[in-house]
């Protein structure tokens, strides 16, 4: 279990991380979101002991992280770094040795991970001969091949197409199921929503959202409406409490409500026409909530 307790980090007059606390139990995934400069990467560097907190503490299984503990960490930085003139196999063995693994332990796992991430190339190929996407897969394998107990991924989905992003998600979930703690940052709210057990949003180094994705969305109320009925767009837009309503290309009407209660009035008016194929009232998406919280700060 990883515990970050009331951590503060300043650079001169700027506070990069301000009183941040969270816990990641074994077998759990925490998503860390926020604007550029919100403090996500600084938080990762504090956990990794690249930076020393000015206040607070970071504990692994109830104790400060030791040099030995860092062998059970897998870290994928936002800025990738591979040796282009070295083969895939040599590269993976080298990074695994840095984590205390032997060549004998790692060689049997290379084919498995290359197949898992569908790397197009042979393990004897030099990294520079691979496409950018396949180079990124090799970097991911280097992060995960020693089956770390704590996995820190800084924008792991950046540059990956949907198919390869799905392969990465499967790899992360597999290690989670084996008991690993995972923390990752992403600007893709769909990926965050699909795989994380817990979510934290940072803004200017401070936590502004903290909880399970479902619980956070429910806090904002069911203010998104999708409806297909004989009720006209103009009639819906005219109802008090409808912030906006628009007709989608598929013929359904999408509306944003000031409060969830407005949905009841719309439902009653639409039901008066009889059968209603679609009436779906949901809380805002994680991406909409993200924009809302960022917008609050801008204002």
Integer CA distances (angstroms), 215 to 70, 211, 212, 285, 289, in order: 33, 7, 5, 12, 12
Q: Alpha helices, DSSP H only, in 189-239?
A: 189-195, 213-219, 233-237
pLDDT of residue 159: 74
Give the pTM. Answer: 0.83
In a domain, 106, yes or no: yes
CATH number, domain with residue 259: 3.30.70.980
89-144: pLDDT as tens digits: 998 999 888 888 889 889 989 999 999 888 888 889 998 898 888 888 888 888 88
Q: Do 229 and 167 fall within a single domain? A: no
Q: How far apart are CA 42 and CA 17, in angstroms?
A: 7
Pairing mode, if any, of strands 55-60 and 29-33?
Answer: unpaired
What is the dihedral sign for C-alpha 111, 74, 61, 175?
negative
The answer to whether 187 and 34 have CB atoms below 8 angstroms apart is no
Whether residues 61 and 159 share a domain: the answer is yes
Same domain, 166 and 271: no
Token pair, residue 11, equals: 């650079």
Q: How far apart are CA 4 and CA 88, in angstroms?
A: 35
| Full domain range(s) for residue 276 | 221-282
Judgement on whether residues 96 and 225 belong to the same structural domain of the protein: no
Task: Indicate the number of domains in the chain.
Answer: 2
Q: pLDDT by residue (tens digit) across 13-24? A: 999 999 999 999
Residue 146 shares a structural domain with residue 248: no
Contacts of 47 (CB under 8 A, 6+ apart): 2, 4, 58, 65, 152, 183
| pLDDT value of position 296 | 63
CATH number at residue 161: 3.40.50.300
Q: In a 10 Å sphere around its CB, with 0-12 CB exposed, 13-18 middle and 19+ buried, how is residue 268 labelled?
A: exposed
């Amino acid at each position: 279990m990883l515990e970050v307790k009331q951590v503060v980090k300043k650079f001169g007059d700027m506070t990069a991380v301000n009183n941040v606390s969270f816990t990641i139990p074994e077998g759990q995934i925490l998503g860390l979101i926020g604007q550029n400069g919100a403090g996500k990467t600084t938080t990762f560097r504090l956990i990794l002991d690249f930076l020393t907190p000015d206040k607070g503490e970071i504990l692994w299984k109830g104790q400060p992280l030791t040099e030995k503990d860092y062998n059970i960490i897998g870290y994928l930085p936002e800025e990738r770094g591979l040796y282009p003139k070295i083969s895939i196999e040599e590269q993976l063995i080298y990074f695994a040795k840095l984590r205390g693994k032997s060549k004998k332990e790692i060689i049997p796992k290379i084919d498995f991970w290359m197949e898992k991430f569908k790397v197009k190339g042979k393990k004897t190929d030099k990294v520079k001969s691979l496409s950018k996407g396949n180079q990124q897969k090799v970097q991911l394998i280097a992060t995960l091949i020693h089956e770390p107990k704590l996995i820190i991924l800084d924008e792991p989905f950046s540059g990956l197409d949907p198919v390869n992003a799905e392969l990465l998600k499967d790899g992360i979930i597999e290690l989670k199921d084996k008991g690993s703690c995972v923390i990752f940052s992403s600007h893709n709210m769909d990926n965050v929503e699909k795989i994380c057990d817990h979510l934290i949003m940072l803004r200017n180094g401070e936590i502004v959202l903290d909880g399970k994705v479902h619980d956070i969305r429910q806090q904002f109320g069911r203010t998104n409406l999708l409806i297909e009925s004989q009720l006209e767009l103009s009639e819906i837009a005219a109802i008090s409490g409808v912030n906006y309503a628009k007709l989608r290309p598929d013929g359904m009407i999408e509306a944003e409500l000031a409060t969830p209660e407005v949905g009841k009035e719309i439902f009653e008016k639409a039901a008066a026409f009889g059968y209603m194929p679609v009436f779906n009232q949901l809380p805002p998406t994680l991406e909409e909530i993200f924009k809302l919280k960022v917008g609050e700060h801008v204002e």
